[in-house]
């Protein structure tokens, strides 16, 4: 059995859903697009800035000869059961245990098995590596690009995570690159509430709800309402995708959320300490930005309900130690109840010691007063 067949067999035994192989040539066909994104300020803070490192496996691992790419489905259906209100949404990618850890464990086991057969050198990554994971997955025949930019596997759909191992193994690379298969369908483009999918295969990440739930940049007011009750991530462009209907579901119990982990009690994230947050939520992929970002998203979610019942819950956060939390609380309160909110906000403005927060609250007052005059 050659080394490739051996890796495929071991991957199956390890319950890895998809495995493919690609070479270490630079990913030249996405170079121009990456440069265009840079020019248009569409790079996110979650990506490697150096384009050479994004596209050339040999810059990352000079001995590289072949890349093993794996895919694992996280497409679980899970009934949330009785929801405690107010509750917030998590994308499937943050259900269950952190996928970075789960895929890494699988890859480590696979690496051990390969070492048993043949000693080799390697570097492995899941998500946080500099290279463009999706392009490697496409080249390895794991899937094709959907118009929503996600890599879609014909058997498992697009709810799949990608990991890869750069190796110095000699292998014949003859993977078949799958052809795009969206046809005339543009359901994802139409469904995206913020218009982040500007055209087929073109995402403006700065408008993507998933990005908004993670960034520390100030979120434009007009985009906040589209975040609804999202606490982390967004699945809209994948949920509407016909390629995710009638396909094989993931069977990895690690990604099945327990009752309290597929939705988030906003009351809880508003009240707990950083330490409690880490104890309760750090096993989840979505918690990587820390408590205050979830707290901010929870505050936006309460603001988006426009329900006065949440005003008493929000009011104390006008005096929160975090300037970010004070700003977003002012927004949420004004969004729910402009008239009463304005009295509190003007009051708070007098004592606000942070110049930037003061300026932002003045900007909010302007924004909401114009909107309210216009009715
Ligand atoms: C930064 C980042 C984000 C950013 C930006 C996303 C983006 N589209 O760029 C934000 C925070 C918005 C994000 C969101 C999500 N992400 Co993310 N993210 C990344 C990260 C770290 C880098 C992505 C990147 O390089 N983007 C660069 C641009 C150029 O890529 P792109 O917009 O996808 O464009 C591709 C296509 O458009 C295609 N293309 C361009 N032109 C053309 C033209 C034609 C004709 C064709 C066919 C294709 C094509 O090539 C581009 C390169 O891949 C990767 C991990 C990694 N290191 O690669 C994970 C990764 C892409 N994310 C992942 C996931 C799961 C998500 C979410 C589903 C999470 C969620 N539920 O909220 C969403 C999906 C949003 C979406 N529709 O893309 C998975 C995707 C798995 C898959 N099946 O595709 C990855 C690969 C992580 C992993 N290892 O599993 N993510």
301, part of any domain: no
Give the total number of structural domains in the chain: 1
Nearest to 257 by CA among 16, 84, 100, 81: 81
- Model-wide pTM > 0.95: yes
The pLDDT tens digits along the chain (375 residues) read: 799 999 999 999 999 999 999 999 999 999 999 999 999 999 999 999 999 999 999 999 999 999 999 999 999 877 665 566 788 999 999 999 999 999 999 999 999 999 999 999 999 999 999 999 999 999 999 999 999 999 999 999 999 999 999 999 999 999 999 999 999 999 999 999 999 999 999 999 999 999 999 999 999 999 999 999 999 999 999 999 999 999 998 889 999 887 556 789 999 999 999 999 999 999 999 999 999 999 999 999 999 999 999 999 999 999 999 999 999 999 999 999 999 999 999 988 988 999 999 999 999 999 999 887 655
Is residue 169 a contact partner of residue 7, using CB atoms and an 8 Å limit? no
Positions annotated as catalytic residues are 127
- Count of beta carbons in the 10 Å neighbourhood of residue 29: 11
Query: Residue 126 CA: which ligand 1 atom is closest?
Result: 89
Closest-CA residue, ligand 1 atom 24, reads 132
135, part of any domain: yes
Mutate to test the pocket of ligand 1, among 40, 99, 126, 133 (most ligand atoms within 8 A of CB): 133
pLDDT at res. 371:
82
126, part of any domain: yes
pLDDT digits (tens, 9 = 90+) for 83-101: 667 889 999 999 999 999 9
Distances (CA, A) of 9 to 12, 14, 96, 105, 325: 5, 9, 27, 17, 51
Is the shortest distance between the CB of 192 and ligand 1 below 6 Å?
A: no
Closest-CA residue, ligand 1 atom 49, reads 201
Residue range(s) defining the domain that contains residue 115: 3-75+97-167
134, part of any domain: yes
Residues β-bridged to residue 68 = 21, 165
pLDDT at res. 82:
55
Residues β-bridged to residue 166 = 67, 123
DSSP class of 229: T
pLDDT at res. 84:
63
pLDDT at res. 86:
87
Is residue 324 a contact partner of residue 292, using CB atoms and an 8 Å limit? yes
175, part of any domain: no
Query: Residue 234 CA: which ligand 1 atom is closest?
Result: 72
Give the largest CA-CA distance in the chain.
76
Query: Residue 134 CA: which ligand 1 atom is closest?
Result: 53
20, part of any domain: yes
pLDDT digits (tens, 9 = 90+) for 331-359: 999 999 999 999 999 988 988 999 999 99
Q: What's phi and psi for 228, nearest 5 deg?
A: 50, -125
Is residue 24 a contact partner of residue 57, using CB atoms and an 8 Å limit? yes
Is the shortest distance between the CB of 133 and ligand 1 below 6 Å?
A: yes
**H-helix or E-strand spanning residue 52:** helix 51-55
- Count of beta carbons in the 10 Å neighbourhood of residue 161: 23
Query: Residue 34 CA: which ligand 1 atom is closest?
Result: 29
User: Which residues, other chains included, contact 324 with Cβ-Cβ below 8 Å and sequence gap of 6+?
Assistant: 216, 292, 296
- Count of beta carbons in the 10 Å neighbourhood of residue 360: 20
44, part of any domain: yes
Determine the distance separating the centroid of ligand 1 and the alpha carbon of 355, expressed in angstroms: 37
Is the shortest distance between the CB of 126 and ligand 1 below 6 Å?
A: yes
311, part of any domain: no
């Amino acid at each position: 059995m050659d080394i490739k067949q051996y890796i495929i067999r071991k991957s199956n035994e390890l319950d890895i859903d998809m495995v493919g192989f690609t070479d270490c040539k630079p990913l030249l066909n996405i170079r121009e697009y990456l440069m265009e994104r840079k020019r248009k300020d569409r790079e996110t803070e979650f990506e490697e800035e150096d384009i050479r490192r994004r596209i050339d496996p040999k810059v990352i691992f000079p001995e590289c000869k072949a890349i093993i790419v794996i895919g694992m489905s996280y497409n679980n259906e899970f009934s949330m059961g009785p929801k405690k209100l107010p509750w917030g949404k998590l994308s499937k990618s943050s259900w269950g245990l952190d996928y970075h850890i789960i895929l890494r464990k699988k890859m480590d086991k696979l690496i051990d098995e390969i070492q048993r057969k043949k000693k080799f050198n390697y570097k492995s990554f899941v998500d946080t590596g500099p290279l463009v994971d999706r392009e490697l997955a496409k080249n390895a025949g794991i899937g094709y690009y959907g118009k929503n930019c996600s890599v879609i596997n014909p058997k498992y759909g697009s709810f799949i995570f990608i990991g890869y191992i750069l190796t110095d193994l000699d292998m014949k690379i003859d993977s078949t690159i799958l052809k795009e298969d969206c046809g005339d369908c543009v359901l994802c483009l139409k469904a995206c509430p913020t218009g982040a999918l500007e055209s087929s295969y073109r995402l403006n990440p700065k408008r993507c709800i998933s990005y908004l739930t993670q960034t520390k940049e100030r979120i434009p007011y007009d985009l906040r309402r589209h975040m609804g009750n999202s606490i982390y991530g967004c699945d809209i462009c994948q949920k509407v995708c016909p390629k995710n209907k009638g396909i094989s579901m993931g069977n990895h119990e690690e990604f099945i959320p327990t009752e309290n982990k597929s939705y988030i009690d906003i009351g809880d994230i508003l009240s707990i300490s950083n330490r409690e947050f880490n104890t309760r939520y750090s096993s989840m992929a979505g918690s990587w930005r820390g408590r205050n970002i979830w707290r901010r998203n929870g505050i936006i979610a309460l603001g988006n309900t426009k329900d006065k019942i949440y005003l008493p819950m929000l009011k104390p956060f006008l005096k929160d130690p975090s300037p970010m939390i004070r700003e977003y609380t002012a927004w949420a309160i004004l969004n729910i109840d402009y008239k009463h909110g304005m009295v509190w906000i003007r009051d708070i403005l007098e004592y606000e010691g942070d110049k930037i927060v003061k300026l932002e609250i003045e900007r909010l007052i302007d924004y909401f007063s114009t909107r309210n005059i216009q009715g």
